[in-house]
A = this chain, B = another copy of it.
Amino acid sequence: MKTYPLDKVYRLIEPGPVLLVTTADAKGAANVMTASWVVMMDFTPPLIGLSLGPWNHSYAVLRSTKECVIAIPGVDLISRVVAIGNCSGADADKFAKFKLTALPAGKVHAPLVAECLHNLECRVVDARMVGKYNLWVLEAVAAWENPERKERRIFHAHGNGIFHVQGRTHDLQKEMTRWQEFVD
């Protein structure tokens, strides 16, 4: 795993991929869930909005530990990611069940997912929107890239079991007058 620059975290979240979110409880038991209601909220420090509600087994652990890892899977993991999204950590050790490798993170207790392209270590910085909207404001405090994964394409959820894979790249850098941000 290589470190990934925090000021480029927005480039991983802004495309809107399906994500994994890991947590670890006070005894060190890890869980992993699937998420795709996620949004960038600021560049630096990188703030990320994550929708995660009481119906999720990870909710109580996130609320008590205030830590999680957001991991970005390539499309080679799509079947496992969907299956992870269809069972509960209340019933199964999902790292074992889905043959994912939990690696220790640097700054949080939640584990990294070795098989993912990128991992973002996150701390909850604002939980005031959780009661009404189940929206957690996270700060990414460390980020990692796995350069050894051959399948680099991410994938997107359309609901109802339909997904699409990252297709052809359009490089419009020359058409951008500002380097990273849309204006209006």
A-side interface residues toward B, CB under 8 Å? 8, 10-11, 14-17, 21, 31-42, 47, 49, 51, 55-58, 75, 78-79, 82-89, 94, 126, 129, 132-135, 137, 153, 155-180, 182-184
Distance in angstroms between the alpha carbons of A37 and B168 in the assembled complex: 21
Residue of B nearest to A47 (CB): B133
Contact B165 A82 (CB under 8 A): no
Q: How far is the CB of A20 from chain B (nearest CB, A)?
A: 10
Distance in angstroms between the alpha carbons of A57 and B184 in the assembled complex: 6
**Ordered nearest first, which 3 A-B pairs have the shortest CB separation?**
A16-B16, A33-B184, A167-B167
Contact A15 B16 (CB under 8 A): yes
| Cβ–Cβ < 8 Å partners of A167 in chain B | 153, 164-168
| Cβ–Cβ < 8 Å partners of A47 in chain B | 133
Contact A170 B163 (CB under 8 A): yes
Selected from B38, B75, B134, B172, the residue in CB contact (under 8 A) with A161 is B172
Best-surrounded residue of A58, A133, A180 (most CB of chain B within 10 A): A133
Distance in angstroms between the alpha carbons of A75 and B34 in the assembled complex: 27
Distance in angstroms between the alpha carbons of A129 and B129 in the assembled complex: 9
Selected from B88, B158, B179, the residue in CB contact (under 8 A) with A183 is B88
